[in-house]
Structure 1
């Protein structure tokens, strides 16, 4: 039976690994459709680039006008922010709203849909749906250990959940609920958004309230907030694989096309340098390289290709274990 769920991916820029990620999702999960939400020019360019890619039905949406059906442009929503000097950009907050509000800009989006981070490559991956009685389980994988990272930021996210949602954050003995992908159900998103109105005692649109909450708290986490809401309201609909199942083998590292992984991949494929051609390897080629590099018995569950240079400047104390242990972390090659 064909899968009837859609995948949603906010995408700032098409990168060297975009083709492999989209083809990997298609290969492993065969979604009904993949929806990319990107800056308008990027969205249009991706449609042309992807013509020869082996991907599920692909639809692109311009992020600037994504919420026009709600009466708001991206600029109007981001104008609610007043953070001054901040670690986060308005675009970082906006992409979280795209995940929570995907159904408001995509007609006929599936009731259950998967948001997938654009840099997460599935390798020896996990089933997203498990056939169980009385109904299938929509499951995601915990991919980030909770003993590393920035404790101050995590504490602020938890404070947001307690204050705005008026519930306790859901926790796990090992993993965090920042798993770089997430099942969302429109039914639960509707009550989540209604809670924002109830908490702030206003009929203002949830998009504006989320941004205003960032002014109050400094930050929020869409994945953890949503998971906590479902855990409190409909726990049977929150299903996940523990960290040891798939998180223990995932790796996260910087590679914007100039990193160790892409350099080794180019050598493996005898590919031209970045100056000579646009590098966009297929999932088949990337998977073959990973098998050759790791061996079939030690394949990672997934790889995250971070594109922000700030990942090269992180303090060891705030570097996630998935980054520390990666063979593609340049600090491990000094």
Structure 2
């Protein structure tokens, strides 16, 4: 496996973390969530590209499986609300234009690639700006970002019994994400497992604090700081999930908790047997284009 090779290259300590996560998932540790006394009011945020329009309604319908929250609003950030309005019928949904969130469009920071078959990655980077930049607009103290191609099949929670934020650990380990973290904060990451799990809870004040810290460190707008991490020979230079989770571990460790991510994808050959073993499924569009 490429994953294992990457971890082995980083040494036995990182590889041991990978094996520990595999063991936790084998034993189904952290799969079930307790019911808490109080529900937290949160917003749900989707950043939606047309390629994921077909899965969005299913994802919204599955939100009832998120425990211990009350959904205040569902915000869909998109550059094409016309088509989505015909697919999504939910009174809680509001459509927000991308330009309204950031004040600039997808072409503001170009991310062309050299020596790869992948297209321009400007849109991929831009959607990460949207998720972080939403903190300036969010009417709620906490907002949960969910990838539009992901829906829930079993109960899940973003708060634990100690009222800490739950971050989900995955087997993915992409070194450029951690290199970017060091580049922009001049500090090493703290997470032992990756946090790129197709979903994350963000605290509005903490995101604003993180972005303000970036601007103070570099004397530049926060999105320009992040944009400087993009090399022309890497298709994935930065992760908003990885960055925020590691920053939280450094600045607010007592508010963080981690559980294994029990997510699978629609190409799983045992998809008809996933209930009780996974709590979410992702229908990645890029899997449908593989030959």
TM-score (norm 2): 0.74
Please say if residues 120 and 180 of structure 1, whose CA atoms lie closer than 8 Å, have aligned partners that are also in contact. Answer: yes
Q: Which residue number in structure 1 is paired with residue 25 of structure 2?
A: none
Query: Aligned partners of 2:249, 2:107: CA distance in 1, in Å?
Result: 32
203, 213, 225: which one pairs with 2:229? 213
Q: Which residue number in structure 2 is paired with residue 5 of structure 1?
A: 42
Task: Please state whether the residue corresponding to 1:160 is helix, strand or coil.
Answer: helix
Aligned positions of 1:156-171 closer than 5 A? 156-171=176-191
Query: Aligned partners of 1:67, 1:18: CA distance in 2, in Å?
Result: 22
Gaps of 5+ in 1: 262-289, 314-334
Structure-2 change in CA distance of 1:61 and 1:302 (3 Å): same
Task: Please state whether the residue corresponding to 1:183 is helix, strand or coil.
Answer: strand
Structure 1 residue 62 corresponds to structure 2 residue 97: yes
- Point out the structure with the larger strand share: 2
Task: Please state whether the residue corresponding to 1:4 is helix, strand or coil.
Answer: strand
130, 143, 146: which one pairs with 2:160? 130
107, 118, 122: which one pairs with 2:148? 118
Query: Aligned partners of 1:56, 1:251: CA distance in 2, in Å?
Result: 29
Q: Which residue number in structure 2 is paired with residue 237 of structure 1?
A: 255
Query: Aligned partners of 2:154, 2:179: CA distance in 1, in Å?
Result: 35
Gaps of 5+ in 2: 1-37
Please say if residues 109 and 227 of structure 2, whose CA atoms lie closer than 8 Å, have aligned partners that are also in contact. Answer: yes
Q: Which residue number in structure 1 is paired with residue 290 of structure 2?
A: 312
Please say if residues 144 and 202 of structure 2, whose CA atoms lie closer than 8 Å, have aligned partners that are also in contact. Answer: yes
170, 176, 181: which one pairs with 2:199? 181
> What is the CA-CA distance between 1:18 and the residue it aligns to?
1.6
Query: Aligned partners of 1:198, 1:306: CA distance in 2, in Å?
Result: 37
Instruction: Indicate the RMSD between aligned Cα atoms, in angstroms.
Output: 2.9
132, 156, 171: which one pairs with 1:145? 171
Q: Which residue number in structure 2 is paired with residue 294 of structure 1?
A: 273
Larger Rg: 1
Structure-2 change in CA distance of 1:217 and 1:185 (3 Å): farther
Query: Aligned partners of 2:113, 2:157: CA distance in 1, in Å?
Result: 39
Q: Which residue number in structure 2 is paired with residue 282 of structure 1?
A: none
Query: Aligned partners of 1:209, 1:230: CA distance in 2, in Å?
Result: 19
Query: Aligned partners of 2:249, 2:232: CA distance in 1, in Å?
Result: 25
Query: Aligned partners of 2:257, 2:95: CA distance in 1, in Å?
Result: 29
> What is the CA-CA distance between 1:96 and the residue it aligns to?
0.5
Q: Which residue number in structure 2 is paired with residue 15 of structure 1?
A: 53
Query: Aligned partners of 1:140, 1:107: CA distance in 2, in Å?
Result: 20
Task: Please state whether the residue corresponding to 2:54 is helix, strand or coil.
Answer: coil
Structure-2 change in CA distance of 1:213 and 1:227 (3 Å): same
Structure-2 change in CA distance of 1:307 and 1:217 (3 Å): closer
Task: Please state whether the residue corresponding to 2:258 is helix, strand or coil.
Answer: strand
Structure 1 residue 227 corresponds to structure 2 residue 240: no
Task: Please state whether the residue corresponding to 1:49 is helix, strand or coil.
Answer: coil
CA deviations 1:177-201 (Å, max 9, x no partner) are: 111111111222223223322443x
> What is the CA-CA distance between 1:166 and the residue it aligns to?
1.7
Query: Aligned partners of 1:190, 1:59: CA distance in 2, in Å?
Result: 22
Q: Which residue number in structure 2 is paired with residue 271 of structure 1?
A: none
Query: Aligned partners of 2:177, 2:228: CA distance in 1, in Å?
Result: 15
TM-score (norm 1): 0.65
